[in-house]
Amino acid sequence: MNILGLGFWELVLIVIIMLVVAGPQRMLQWAYHAGKLLAKARDMWSKLMLSVQRELDEAGLDVELPKDLNRTQIEKFTRNVMKPLQEPIQQGMRAYQQEVKKLESEVKGQVKQLETEATQPDRTPPQVDASSKPQPQKPNSSFGTWSGRSGHKE
């Protein structure tokens, strides 16, 4: 049993809480008002679907809208309507996933290659020539115009 997305035990729990909070007299009044609101909602839904169905028929579209306010019918209808829109999205997702797998395999191959190169003992690090080291420069004592000095000695 599934009413408005709630199971049997959830409905039993709600009824018990309503009995404790409101009492039996007010709970009957609330149920009466809830029934009236639900009947109005169903009437509004059927009127809305009837007018939209007329418009769709006049436009020449072959779409059958659900007549009742039933969750399973609405879900089935939305799946059927969305099916043509979902196919290009799914094709794009498949192409994206294939590209990701391709890139992952390339990266794994490069990582393996780098690991094998790093573990080979015959490779020696490049030698640095000590004579080619740059000589340290003397610090520049001229601060330019920021220090308030013009850069010349007085």
Q: Is residue 123 part of a domain?
A: no
SS3 (DSSP) at 127: coil
Q: Is residue 56 part of a domain?
A: yes
Q: Is residue 61 part of a domain?
A: yes
- Count the Cβ atoms, other than its own, within 10 Å of residue 11: 14
Q: Is residue 85 part of a domain?
A: yes
- Per-residue pLDDT of 105-124, as tens digits, reads 999 999 888 888 878 766 56
Span 41-58, average pLDDT: 87
Q: Count how many domains the chain has.
A: 2
Same domain, 80 and 104: yes
Q: What is the pLDDT of residue 98?
A: 94
Same domain, 65 and 75: no
Q: Residue 28: what residue type?
A: L
- Per-residue pLDDT of 20-39, as tens digits, reads 888 888 888 888 888 899 88
Same domain, 11 and 64: yes
CA distance 18 to 31: 10
Expressed as residue numbers, the domain containing 112 is 71-117
CA distance 71 to 60: 26
Q: What is the pLDDT of residue 21?
A: 86
pTM for this prediction: 0.37
Q: Is residue 16 part of a domain?
A: yes
